[in-house]
Amino acid sequence: MYIDTHCHLYKEYYNNIDDVIRESIEEGVCKFIVNGCDMKSNKEAIEISHKYDNVYAAIGFHPTELDDFSDEYFDWLEDNINDEKVVAIGEIGLDYHYDNTNKEKEIYVFRKQLDIAKKYNKPIIVHSRDAIGDTYDILKEYNLRGSIHSYSGSIEMAREFTKLGYMLGIGGVVTFKNAKNVKEVVKDIDLSYILLETDSPYLTPEPYRGTPNSPKYIPYIAKAISDIKGININDVRGTTTGNAKRLFDNLND
Ligand code: NI
C-alpha cells in the first residue's frame, strides 16, 4: 500500500473526489493526507477526512495565502488540532518567490504555527520556495518533526534537514528529465528519510505531465525513485509507507 502524504483534493479542482479516491485505491494508493492552505481549504480538508476513513487532514496557513490572514486563525488552528483525523500542521512555511513577498509576515505566521506544533506535539508539513536558508535557520530553533514537502534544495541542505530529523517529500518532479537536482538528492539520501507525495492537482509526473495530477500516479514516483536508487519498487513502497506511519501517528490502523 502507498500513502500520498501531500495532496489538495479540493472541490474546486476535482468534479468527483469519490472517483479520484476509488481510482487511487485501485492503483494501490490507499491513504491520503489532504493539506489545507487557507481557512476555506482547511475546513474542507477536515470535512473530507471525516467523510472517508482513509483520508486524513493537515491544517495550516500557507505563506502565499496570507492576504486575509487574521490572528484569530491561530485560535481556530488550536481548536481543531486535536481532531482525530488531523495528523499534522501543514501546509506551512516560507515562499519568497514573488516580488511583493512580505517576509516579515510570512515568518511571523510560520513561527506561530511552529509554536502550536510544539505545544501539541504535532508533525509539520513545510513548504519552502526560494527560502531554504531561512526555513532551515528557523526550524533549527525548534525541536520538531515533519516533512519538507516537494524538496527542491541542494544535497547539502537535504542532509542538514535529515540531521534535524525531517523527512523529504518527493513528488512528480523526480520523473522529469531535467530534474537533475532532485534526482541527485534522491540518490544520496537514505530511503528512510523519503516520503511519497503528489501535491495534486499540481506537479503531475511523467508520462502525464500537463494534465491534472491525482494520487493514483504515486506508483510513477515510486518507480522513478527505484530506478534512481537501483532498488526494487516494492522496497520503495514498503519503506516510504513505513516512514509515513512513523511520522504521522494516527495513520496506524
Ligand atoms: Ni501543496
Is 209 a residue whose pLDDT tops 80? yes
Give the sign of the dihedral formed by CA 78, CA 82, CA 41, CA 206. positive
CA of 47 to the centre of ligand 1 (A): 18
Domain that holds residue 234: 2-252
C-alpha span between 19 and 155 (Å, rounded): 38
CA of 43 to the centre of ligand 1 (A): 16
CA of 26 to the centre of ligand 1 (A): 23
CA of 163 to the centre of ligand 1 (A): 23
Q: Please report the beta strands in 36-132, taking only residues with DSSP state E, as ranges in sequence order.
A: 55-59, 86-95, 124-129
Q: Are 127 and 8 in contact (CB under 8 A)?
A: no
CA of 64 to the centre of ligand 1 (A): 11
CA of 149 to the centre of ligand 1 (A): 7
Q: How far apart are the first and last CA of the chain?
A: 13
Is 39 a residue whose pLDDT tops 80? yes
168-182 average pLDDT score: 96
Q: What is the pLDDT of residue 182?
A: 97
CA of 126 to the centre of ligand 1 (A): 9
Percentage of the chain beyond pLDDT 90 is: 97
Other CB atoms within 10 Å distance of the CB of residue 21: 23
CA of 108 to the centre of ligand 1 (A): 20
Q: Cell 473526489 belongs to which residue? A: 17
Residue 82 C-alpha cell reads as 486535536
Q: What is the pLDDT of residue 249?
A: 81
Percentage of the chain beyond pLDDT 70 is: 99
Angle, alpha carbons 238-240-241 (nearest 5°): 65
C-alpha span between 119 and 74 (Å, rounded): 13
Tell me the average pLDDT of the chain.
97
Is 188 a residue whose pLDDT tops 90? yes
Q: What is the pLDDT of residue 7?
A: 98
H helices of 121-177, in order, are 132-141, 155-163
C-alpha span between 159 and 189 (Å, rounded): 7
CA of 95 to the centre of ligand 1 (A): 12
89-98 average pLDDT score: 97
Is 253 a residue whose pLDDT tops 70? no
CA of 211 to the centre of ligand 1 (A): 17
| Eight-class DSSP state of 37 | -
CA of 228 to the centre of ligand 1 (A): 24
Give the H/E segment covering residue 27.
none
CA of 35 to the centre of ligand 1 (A): 7
Is 126 a residue whose pLDDT tops 70? yes
CA of 227 to the centre of ligand 1 (A): 25
pLDDT tens digits, 40-68: 999 999 999 999 999 999 999 999 999 99
Q: What is the pLDDT of residue 200?
A: 98
CA of 92 to the centre of ligand 1 (A): 9
CA of 184 to the centre of ligand 1 (A): 22
**pTM for this predicted structure:** 0.97
Number of structural domains (the chain) is 1
Other CB atoms within 10 Å distance of the CB of residue 192: 12
User: Which CATH number is 12's domain given?
Assistant: 3.20.20.140
Instruction: Indicate the angle between helix axes 103-120 and 72-80, nearest 10 degrees.
Output: 30
For residue 120, name the pLDDT band (cuts at 50, 70, 90). Answer: very high
Q: What is the pLDDT of residue 216?
A: 98
Angle, alpha carbons 10-138-158 (nearest 5°): 75
